[in-house]
């Protein structure tokens, strides 16, 4: 039996239990996926009590960085982006992975055949570092709008090929020209920018938020004719990668993705 859960704080809003349990039902896998409210600074204590009977845990805020110092083994990608969202119990140790990076790629590729050449990322935290790693390429220029300038070195370290430049936290005309805009900021952070969207943008707005949905920014983006990808798309894509790790099985990715997207009415 697969026994897993999502950890974070707050956690009551998470749709991960619905997502994973529905996937187990569809795949006819004997499994259970729950949630635990685990506050910052308490992950190590929590894991010490969950050694037996658990396959792994999904991690959300504020645990994606904390887990790096606790895991017995850390995937090189996790080390590069300084963020891990999946703990797996393997060979009596906790191994840390990131499925956010592949999740971003899969969610984008589901709707677009070509890789974006210009990207604007809003925010510079753990999820933003996964986003820049996901689209890292010699042919891709990435700009970041954020408030915390102390995070710029970590953002640069997350890419191996792309050029990354940084801009202050303000709405600029560049919003209209980028092929892909990714919001990684907390809910309501973009509300101040929403009224400034006055004409149709050229690119796709990819919001990692799914609660509330649509956000004011996403709603205004679509009202002027802009294309969007919602946070549920990322949740499904990265969740499927987690299921592969938890089950150690080669799952039917396309069929499972189609089913889960239908289940959530996407």
Tell me: the pLDDT tens digits for 171-221?
A: 988 899 999 999 999 999 999 999 999 999 999 999 999 999 999 999 999
CATH of the domain at 62: 3.40.50.10860
Asked if residue 209 and residue 138 are part of one domain, the reply reads yes
Asked if residue 178 and residue 112 are part of one domain, the reply reads yes
Asked if residue 137 and residue 224 are part of one domain, the reply reads yes
Q: pLDDT higher for 16 or 175? A: 16
Angle CA 52–57–63, to nearest 5: 120
Average pLDDT, rounded, for the chain:
96
pLDDT tens per residue, range 111-159: 998 999 999 999 999 999 999 999 999 999 999 999 999 999 999 999 9
> What's the pLDDT at 113?
85
Asked if residue 109 and residue 45 are part of one domain, the reply reads no
| Number of structural domains in the chain | 2
Q: How far is CA 258 from CA 28, 114, 213, 222, 264, in A?
A: 16, 21, 21, 24, 10
Asked if residue 202 and residue 107 are part of one domain, the reply reads yes
Token pair of 23 as six digits: 């996937």
Q: Is 57 exposed, middle or buried (0-12, 13-18, 19+ CB in 10 A)?
A: buried
Asked if residue 42 and residue 153 are part of one domain, the reply reads no
Q: For 72-90, what is the mean pLDDT?
A: 98
Asked if residue 116 and residue 19 are part of one domain, the reply reads no
Full domain range(s) for residue 21: 2-98+233-263
Asked if residue 80 and residue 144 are part of one domain, the reply reads no
What sign does the dihedral 218-223-227-230 (CA atoms) show? Answer: positive
Beta bridge partners of 143: 120, 165
> What's the pLDDT at 63?
97
CB atoms under 10 Å from CB of 130, counted, come to: 30
Please give the model's pTM, rounded to 2 decimal places.
Answer: 0.95
Asked if residue 194 and residue 125 are part of one domain, the reply reads yes
CATH of the domain at 183: 3.40.50.720
Asked if residue 107 and residue 203 are part of one domain, the reply reads yes
> What's the pLDDT at 173?
84
Asked if residue 127 and residue 17 are part of one domain, the reply reads no
């Amino acid at each position: 039996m697969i026994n897993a859960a999502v950890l974070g704080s707050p956690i009551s809003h998470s749709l991960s239990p619905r997502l994973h349990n529905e996937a187990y039902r569809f795949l006819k896998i004997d499994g259970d996926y729950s949630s635990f409210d685990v506050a910052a600074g308490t992950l190590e204590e929590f894991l010490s009590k969950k050694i037996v009977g658990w396959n792994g845990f999904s991690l959300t805020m504020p645990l994606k960085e904390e887990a790096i110092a606790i895991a017995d083994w850390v995937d090189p990608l996790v080390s590069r982006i300084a963020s891990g969202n999946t703990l797996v119990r393997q060979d009596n140790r906790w191994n840390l992975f990131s499925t956010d990076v592949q999740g971003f790629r899969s969610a984008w590729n589901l709707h677009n055949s070509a890789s974006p050449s210009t990207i604007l990322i809003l925010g510079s935290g753990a999820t933003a570092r996964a986003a820049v790693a996901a689209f890292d390429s010699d042919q891709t220029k990435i700009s970041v709008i954020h408030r915390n300038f102390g995070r710029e070195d970590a953002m640069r370290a997350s890419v191996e090929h792309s050029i990354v430049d940084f801009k202050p936290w303000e709405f600029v005309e560049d919003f209209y020209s980028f092929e892909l805009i990714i919001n990684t900021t907390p809910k309501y952070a973009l509300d101040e920018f929403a009224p400034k969207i006055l004409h149709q943008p050229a690119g796709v707005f990819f919001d990692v938020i799914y609660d509330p949905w649509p956000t004011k920014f996403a709603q205004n983006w679509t009202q002027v004719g802009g294309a969007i990808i919602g946070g549920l798309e990322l949740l499904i894509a990265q969740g499927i990668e987690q299921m592969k790790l938890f089950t150690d099985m080669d799952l039917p990715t396309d069929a499972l993705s189609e089913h889960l997207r239908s289940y959530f009415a996407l």
